[in-house]
Amino acid sequence: MAHHASTEPTQLGEIPKPVTGWIWKTFFILVGITALEFVFVFFMDAGTLRNSIFIILTIFKAFYIVAEFMHLKHETKGLIWTIMIPMALLIWLLVALITEGSYVGEAIQNAFN
């Protein structure tokens, strides 16, 4: 009987109260940044500056999702670097190939000149 009682859920009435302040704070930051992006979509002309603003705001959003929702901020340093270093190399690849794309386009458009 004692053995039986130990496997039964015995928590009725003693479940701690939820602590959700930080979750909603992160949510409002994410919604705020998204709203700000739409302000830029409608009130700013397209261009390199606007695109840079979008990319910076995206990185902010990514930070809050990964650090808070995915809890990476509270993991060990080793795990943080294991994730961050490959991602940084991917950003390098992205920048390199976008630059390369402009050259490919130029080469194709001027192929018969």
Partner 1 sequence: MSTISTTQTYSPTSHEQPRSGTWDGGNEPFKASYGKLMMWFFLLSDAFTFAAFLTTYGLMRHRHLAFTGKPEDFTFSTAYWPIPDKVFNSFPGFHGVDLPLAFVALMTMILIFSSVTMVLAVEAGHRMDKADVQKWLLWTLLFGTTFVSCQAWEWSHFIGGTDAGTRMADGSIFHGANLVTNQYGPPLFADLFFFITGFHGTHVFSGLCLLTWAFIATTNGTFEKRGHYEMVEKIGLYWHFVDLVWVFVFTFFYLV
CA pair distance 97, 101, nearest whole angstrom? 6
Helices (H), the chain: 2-7, 21-43, 48-64, 77-109
CA pair distance 64, 61, nearest whole angstrom? 5
Residue 67 CB, nearest approach to partner 1 (Å):
11
Applying CB under 8 A, which of residues 49, 51, 73, 88 lies at the interface with partner 1?
51
Q: Does 49 bind partner 1 (CB under 8 A)?
A: no
Count of residues binding partner 1 (CB under 8 A)?
53
What x-and-dash track marks residues 85-104 binding partner 1 by CB under 8 A? -xx--x--xx--xxxxxx-x
Burial call 13-50: b when 16+ CB within 10 Å, e when fewer: eeeeeeeeeeeeeeeeebeeeeeeeeeeeeeeeeeeee
Which residues would be at the binding site for partner 1 (CB under 8 A)? 7, 9, 11, 15-16, 18-20, 23-24, 26-27, 30-31, 34, 37-38, 41-42, 45-46, 51, 54-55, 57-58, 61-62, 65-66, 69-70, 75-76, 78-79, 82-83, 86-87, 90, 93-94, 97-102, 104-105, 108-109
